[in-house]
Structure 1
Amino acid sequence: MADSSSVIDGNETLIPNLPNDLSALILSFVPFPFHGRLKSTCKLWRSFYSSKTPISLRNTHLPSSCLSHLLCVFPQDPSLSSPYVFDPAHLAWAPLPPMPVNPYVYSLSNFAALSIGPHVYVLGGSVFDTRAFPMDRPVASAAVFRYDLVVGRWVPLAPMQAPRGSLAAAALGGRWIVVAGGGSRHSMFGAAGTRVGSAEVYDVERDEWAPVAGLPGLRAGCVGFCAEGRGRRREFWVMGGYGEAKTINGVLPVDEHYKDAMVLEMEHGRWREVGDMWEDEERPRLGKVVTIDDDDDDEKNLPGVFMLDGNSIFRYNMASNRWLKESIVPRKTQSGSSFGFVALRGELHVISLLQGAELSAIRSSKHRRRGTVLFMQIYNPRNMSWRSLVTRTPFQCPLDFRTAVMCTIRV
């Protein structure tokens, strides 16, 4: 058991009439979103929940299935608006502190967010830089930050070798982060911006970036995920995205969307082309894509890859390189709004905002108070069933799923 004596002095006890080791174990089993609230109980609990002990004990004594599976939401630029973590099992929200502010850049968007262990990483993005000319033209960022849930602090890390926003990024093997493609397009603009085709890998332990073979062409707005497991090579998949913008009739630039998938074989450092995933008449571009690790399949151990396209969910079949219809979202969004889409605890969460008549239909008074109300429609691919939940958020700013960034974390 982790030693809790480092946060306890003399004859102080965390819980009266209980040994401190047992008390520390009990307090560590409280879900993470409640830790911040419990700090105000007393100085000793503040010291305990500000140390590494609670998460260390949770990881040591709780099976993976019993850990808190949290959704981390970045509603806007994380240096100006606090991100939040949400625990669906307990309908609990907890704020994270904003990222460190850079006085020269503002309005960060199109960044990537992912987690490894108790750490959340924010990579790249598109910003406006007051040192660049013209100042109203967005540029790509190479900055990388990590938030440590153990100590509650943001730390700047080694920047990427190539600035990139709208990038493909994924964690690999619990130690590496692979990124590819990207550009400088900003959420405030519908087109233009630069494109890159380079790729690189980050060593979490060494805080170092190293180049790997670049994509065959320039590509941004793509999706990345990793496939690895027993008896299988480690692979980094890049799907969809857009290349150089083309001008039609000299009026507006139109993106050339990719319909293929590229696979980087990490051991050999080379890309393999999978080919087009659908015919021209099927759909113009990828929807939102998430993956679910299939831990029970020891032979293949391939992630389940799902796409939300409008109100339909598709599953990607690697053998045929085709998207197969899986299910339909039971409740559509109101006209003009969009869904959030994330995989959490082996299930697909389709998230929307409740507004107007939908909001008034909720009987529980606790959801009628101020704050954005989220409606989560949750699909279980194993038994092909849907359920739902409603939660009121603590956001102080509007939430737009077209620009908000989300990732999951397990602690």
Structure 2
Amino acid sequence: MVTSKKRVTKSSHKCHGLLIPGLPSELAIECLVRVPYRFQSGLKSVSRSWRSLLSDSSFSRERMRCGRAELLLCLVQPLTPPNPASKAVGETLLVEAEDESPQTRVSVTPRFGLSVYNAKMSTWNRVALPDHQQIPLFCECVAIQTSGKILLIGGWDPETLRPVSDVFVLELAGEGSGRRWRKGASMKEARSFFACATVGSTRVYVAGGHDDQKNALRSAEVYDVERDEWSCLPPMTEGRDECQGLAMGPKIAHLHSGPLSARGFCVLSGYGTESQGRFRSDGEVYDPASNSWSRIENVWPFSDTSPRGRIAGEIRGSSSKLWCFTDSELKWETEDDSRRWKLDLESIQSPVTGSSFYAGSYGGEAVVMIGGGSESEGRGTMVRKTSEGKWSRVHEIPFGFSTLPFSHASISV
């Protein structure tokens, strides 16, 4: 405990005097880590020492160590008309609906938004891009926990409906604290409906999807978040549109590598250009150590169902576990042809039958959102599968946030 506090103190306010006059630094930090995240942007304007402390990544780690961190679920989802007003994650975040006459509503291309559910505060909010920019349709959302970043990658241009290579970065740590967006380096290739996952602490992998002619892509890239650089990877053996990406651990971790650096990138299922809608049962795994792909069989034996929005997963040590939400129940495991990567899979039924739903991972547990996208459908709801295998109701989703998302990521702040 003392070591952690000293680390925060030395890196944050050594040159700026006491954080709170009359209090030892350790007690001052104990006070500040207990302030809810939504007030932190205001705290940074108090003094240089407070801004330095709250902008340091060690402050977030201290909040997690003390059990004061707030888990955010970030969702890229269609907006329900009328569109709620947007504010920054670090602000009070009240969502206000504008009056709109039913006679004035017209059928247009749906707009997408970035919604944030705070589990600790039980609040729903929306984050806007700066300068009235629109979030790309069907973009991928990923989180970088170590640096406190949310990334929106690729998708469709809201006006032309063509795939884009854009990357938007939301800084949840550092000077911005939920108010600072920046444009990241663009991908080498525009793509949408692709596989995407954070692997390790600073890298995001993408592969597959389709181009502006709806051709399934074999290409793959990796983004170094700290350097803001994209690099090309060897292409996959198959073009895979509408595929699902995930990080996975090896069966046996390298003796000289940490658990994060030893992880690989799995591209699950998808379909080729000539077989749209018929999902493959296999996948491919990229091994960063060998810079090569290997095939993994029998990972998605549901040819008429997309894996997107039906998979939740976790990595614990060298174990990679997937929950597949389908109409049947079975368990199986599979290895790739290099025998380095192994997946344990469990197919389970949705906790609510007859409803539209979206499944994903949230804080290491499986979570399922049940849709309620229109006034006639009412509000949606959220349930989670605990480590004991039981389902529990988490939260009723307010109208305006209950449309099913396209992609999601979770991060602690």
CA RMSD of aligned residues (A): 3.9
Question: Corresponding residue for 2:334?
Answer: 318
Equivalent pair of 2:298/2:334 in contact (CA under 8 Å): no
Q: Does the residue aligned with 1:120 lie in a helix, a strand or coil?
A: strand
Q: 1:381-404: CA deviations, max 9, x gaps?
A: x321111122344x6x46431x54
Question: Corresponding residue for 1:249?
Answer: none
Say if 2:242 is the partner of 1:239. no
Equivalent pair of 2:208/2:241 in contact (CA under 8 Å): yes
Question: Corresponding residue for 1:377?
Answer: 383
Q: 1:12-63: CA deviations, max 9, x gaps?
A: x86x97557633432323343x436x83x99639995797347632313633
Distance (whole Å) between structure 2 residues aligned to residue 101 and residue 216 of structure 1? 40
Say if 2:294 is the partner of 1:263. no
Equivalent pair of 1:262/1:272 in contact (CA under 8 Å): yes
Equivalent pair of 1:349/1:378 in contact (CA under 8 Å): yes
Q: Does the residue aligned with 1:305 lie in a helix, a strand or coil?
A: strand
Distance (whole Å) between structure 2 residues aligned to residue 68 and residue 95 of structure 1? 16
TM, length-normalised to structure 2: 0.72
Equivalent pair of 2:165/2:186 in contact (CA under 8 Å): yes
Equivalent pair of 2:115/2:124 in contact (CA under 8 Å): yes
Q: 1:81-102: CA deviations, max 9, x gaps?
A: 6523222233133443325555
Instruction: Determine which of 165, 184, 208 is the counterpart of 1:181.
Output: 208
Question: Corresponding residue for 2:221?
Answer: 200
Q: Which runs of 5+ in 2 are unaligned?
A: 1-7, 80-85, 88-110, 255-261, 337-341
Question: Corresponding residue for 2:120?
Answer: 89
Equivalent pair of 2:137/2:155 in contact (CA under 8 Å): yes
Equivalent pair of 1:306/1:316 in contact (CA under 8 Å): no
- For residue 333 of structure 1, report the CA deviation from its aligned partner: 4.8
Distance (whole Å) between structure 2 residues aligned to residue 140 and residue 171 of structure 1? 21
Q: 1:96-115: CA deviations, max 9, x gaps?
A: 3325555xxx6722211111
- For residue 373 of structure 1, report the CA deviation from its aligned partner: 3.5
Of 152-161 and 53-62, the range deviating more from structure 2: 53-62
Distance (whole Å) between structure 1 residues aligned to residue 281 and residue 304 of structure 2? 8
Q: Which runs of 5+ in 1 are unaligned?
A: 130-134, 186-191, 247-253, 360-371
Question: Corresponding residue for 1:363?
Answer: none
- Is the strand fraction higher in 1 or 2? 1
TM, length-normalised to structure 1: 0.72
Distance (whole Å) between structure 2 residues aligned to residue 286 and residue 350 of structure 1? 16
Q: Does the residue aligned with 1:126 lie in a helix, a strand or coil?
A: coil
Instruction: Determine which of 137, 140, 156 is the counterpart of 1:112.
Output: 140
Distance (whole Å) between structure 2 residues aligned to residue 66 and residue 317 of structure 1? 37
Question: Corresponding residue for 1:127?
Answer: 157
Q: Does the residue aligned with 1:220 lie in a helix, a strand or coil?
A: coil
- For residue 218 of structure 1, report the CA deviation from its aligned partner: 1.9
Aligned residues with identical type, % of pairs: 21
Equivalent pair of 1:315/1:324 in contact (CA under 8 Å): yes
Aligned length: 355
Distance (whole Å) between structure 2 residues aligned to residue 303 and residue 322 of structure 1? 5
| Matches for 1:22-101 after TM superposition, within 5 Å | 22-32=27-37, 34-35=38-39, 39=42, 44=46, 48=50, 52-53=54-55, 56-60=58-62, 62-63=64-65, 67-76=69-78, 83-98=114-129, 101=132
Distance (whole Å) between structure 1 residues aligned to residue 128 and residue 358 of structure 2? 23
Equivalent pair of 2:246/2:267 in contact (CA under 8 Å): yes
Distance (whole Å) between structure 2 residues aligned to residue 50 and residue 314 of structure 1? 52
CA distance change for structure 1 residues 245 and 231 in 2, over 3 Å: closer, same or farther? Answer: same
Say if 2:240 is the partner of 1:211. no
Question: Corresponding residue for 1:160?
Answer: 187
Q: Does the residue aligned with 1:59 lie in a helix, a strand or coil?
A: helix
CA distance change for structure 1 residues 159 and 107 in 2, over 3 Å: closer, same or farther? Answer: closer
Instruction: Determine which of 393, 399, 408 is the counterpart of 1:406.
Output: 408
Equivalent pair of 1:341/1:350 in contact (CA under 8 Å): yes
Q: Does the residue aligned with 1:255 lie in a helix, a strand or coil?
A: coil
CA distance change for structure 1 residues 184 and 356 in 2, over 3 Å: closer, same or farther? Answer: closer
Distance (whole Å) between structure 2 residues aligned to residue 62 and residue 277 of structure 1? 34
- For residue 355 of structure 1, report the CA deviation from its aligned partner: 8.5
Distance (whole Å) between structure 2 residues aligned to residue 156 and residue 42 of structure 1? 24
